[in-house]
C-alpha cells in the first residue's frame, strides 16, 4: 500500500458560514477538512487528471482539484483540503475513500495514460486589465473584480462576460493595452468551448433551414408560384407533434425542447420520428420547411 495513513486532521466551519443566514443556507453541509498524507503524491496528479473528467490540474501551486464522492477536493503534493461535509464523521469517511482511490491510481499507473495538461492560474489583476470595468453584472457577478476572482478560481468561464470576444480556442489569449493603445502584455485563459460549439451548431442548423426555405421559395416563384404539394394538409400530426415542430423550426435542440415542454429527451425523439414519418422527410430542416409551406406552424 502506497499511502498508509494521514495526520494533522482538522475539521473547521469556515468563517463565512458563521453568520446565521449562511448557516441556514448550508444547514446540512458546513464543515471544511484538511489533513496531511504520509506520502508525496504529486507524481499521481497527471493520472488523476486523466481518469477524472472534471479534474483540473494547476501548475502553480501544483495541485489538482476535483469532485470526489460529491465533495470538492484540493489535492496538494502531501496535503488535502476538502469541503463541504455534513459532519466530521463524513469528512473522515471521505478521507478513507480518497486514500483508497489514490492507492488504486498508484497501483494502476501502468494502465493509465497520464494527462499532463496543466492550467496556469492567472493573477486577478491581469484578468481585470482585460475586462471593461463597467460592473454591468451581465456575467452574474456584482463587479468585474468579483468576476476576475471567480475566473482565477476556475469557477466561471471567461466568455461569460459579453465584452470579451467569444474565443474559438480552448486556450484563449487576450491582449492588454496601455493607456496609449500600445500592446504591453497578454493574458491566456482556459475557456470551456462546449457551449459555444453548441451555439455554433444551432446557428449552422438555422442557416441551413433558411437556405432551404429560400431555395424552395425561389423554386415556387420559377414555377409560377405553384406549390409542390397539392393543397394544405396537417399530415395527421397531433397537437403535441405540432408543438415540437414549432420548436424545431425555431432552431431549438432536442434537449432544449425537452426542457421547454417538460418531457423526456426520449419522448422528444419519438415525436421527431413520428413527425418525420408523417411528413415523409429525413431531417428537421425539411420538416420545418414543409410545415411552414402547409401553414401547420
Ligand atoms: S459582464 Fe463583464 S463588464 Fe459586466 S460586470 Fe461582468 S466582467 Fe464586468
Average confidence score pLDDT of the chain:
79
> Which residues sit opposite 34 in a β-bridge?
10, 81
**Does the pLDDT at position 15 exceed 60?**
no
CA distance 45 to 77: 9
Q: Which domain holds residue 245?
A: 195-293
pLDDT of residue 201: 66
* pLDDT band for position 100 (cuts 50, 70, 90): very high
Q: Does residue 217 lie within any of the structural domains?
A: yes
Among candidate residues 190, 206, 233, the one where a domain is terminated? 190
Q: Check pLDDT > 60 for residue 264.
A: yes
Of 164, 190, 216, the last residue of a domain is 190
DSSP 124: H
- Average pLDDT of span 206-219: 72
Task: Using DSSP bridges, classify how beta strands 63-68 and 71-75 pair: parallel, antiparallel or unpaired.
Answer: antiparallel
- Average pLDDT (72-101) is 93
Q: Which atom of ligand 1 is nearest to the CA of 134?
A: 3
Phi-psi bin for 198: left (phi > 0), alpha (psi -120 to 50), beta? alpha
What CATH number should be reported for the domain holding residue 135? 1.10.15.40
279: which residues sit within 8 A by CB, 6+ positions away?
Answer: 235, 237, 286, 287, 290, 291
Greater model confidence, 227 or 269? 269
Q: What pLDDT is recorded for position 106? A: 96
Residue 98: predicted pLDDT: 96
Last residue of a domain, one of 190, 223, 241: 190
The answer to whether 257 and 244 are in contact (CB under 8 A) is: yes
Query: Could you report the per-residue pLDDT of 160-169, keeping only the tens digit for each?
Result: 888 875 554 5
Greater confidence (100 vs 118) lies with: 100
Spacing, Cα 131 to ligand 1 middle (Å): 7
Residue 192 pLDDT: 57
Answer yes or no: pTM beyond 0.85: no
Domain count, the chain: 3
Q: 69 — alpha (psi -120 to 50), left (phi > 0) or beta?
A: left
Q: Which CATH number does the domain housing residue 221 bear?
A: 1.10.10.10
State the residue for C-alpha cell 495538461. Answer: 117
Claim to verify: residue 142 and residue 175 sit in the same structural domain: yes
Residues 25 and 52 in one domain: yes
Measured from the CB, is residue 144 less than 6 Å from ligand 1?
Answer: yes
Ligand 1 center to 135 CA (angstroms): 5
Name which residue sits closest to atom 4 of ligand 1, judged by CA.
136
The pLDDT of residue 22: 45
DSSP string, 175-239: EEE-TTS-EEEEEEEE---HHHHHHHHHHHHHHHHHHHHHHHHHHHHHTTT--SSSS---TT--H
Amino acid at each position: 500500500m502506497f499511502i498508509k495513513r494521514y495526520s494533522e486532521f482538522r475539521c473547521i466551519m469556515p468563517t463565512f458560514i458563521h453568520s446565521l443566514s449562511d448557516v441556514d443556507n448550508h444547514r446540512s453541509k458546513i464543515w471544511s477538512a484538511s489533513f496531511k498524507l504520509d506520502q508525496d503524491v504529486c507524481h499521481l496528479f497527471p493520472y488523476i487528471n486523466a481518469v477524472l473528467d472534471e479534474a483540473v490540474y494547476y501548475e502553480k501551486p501544483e495541485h489538482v482539484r476535483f469532485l470526489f464522492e460529491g465533495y470538492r477536493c484540493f489535492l496538494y503534493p502531501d496535503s488535502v483540503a476538502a469541503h463541504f461535509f455534513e459532519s466530521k464523521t463524513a469528512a473522515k469517511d471521505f478521507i478513507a475513500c480518497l486514500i483508497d482511490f489514490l492507492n488504486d491510481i498508484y497501483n494502476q499507473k501502468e494502465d493509465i495514460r497520464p494527462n499532463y495538461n496543466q492550467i496556469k492560474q492567472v493573477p486577478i489583476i491581469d484578468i481585470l486589465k482585460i475586462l471593461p470595468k463597467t460592473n454591468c453584472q451581465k456575467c452574474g457577478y456584482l463587479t468585474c473584480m468579483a468576476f476576475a476572482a471567480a475566473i482565477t478560481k476556475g469557477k466561471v468561464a471567461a466568455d461569460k462576460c459579453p465584452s470579451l470576444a467569444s474565443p474559438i480556442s480552448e486556450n484563449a489569449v487576450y491582449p492588454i493595452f496601455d493607456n496609449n493603445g500600445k500592446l504591453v502584455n497578454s493574458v491566456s485563459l482556459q475557456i470551456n468551448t462546449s457551449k459555444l460549439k453548441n451555439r455554433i451548431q444551432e446557428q449552422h442548423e438555422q442557416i441551413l433551414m433558411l437556405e432551404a426555405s429560400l431555395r424552395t421559395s425561389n423554386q415556387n416563384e420559377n414555377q409560377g408560384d405553384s406549390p409542390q404539394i397539392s393543397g394544405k394538409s396537417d399530415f395527421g400530426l397531433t397537437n403535441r407533434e405540432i408543438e415540437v415542430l414549432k420548436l424545431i423550426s425555431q432552431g431549438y435542440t432536442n434537449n432544449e425542447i425537452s426542457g421547454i415542454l417538460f418531457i423526456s429527451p426520449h419522448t422528444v425523439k419519438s415525436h421527431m420520428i413520428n413527425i418525420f414519418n408523417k411528413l415523409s422527410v429525413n431531417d428537421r430542416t425539411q420538416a420545418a420547411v414543409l410545415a411552414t409551406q402547409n401553414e401547420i406552424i
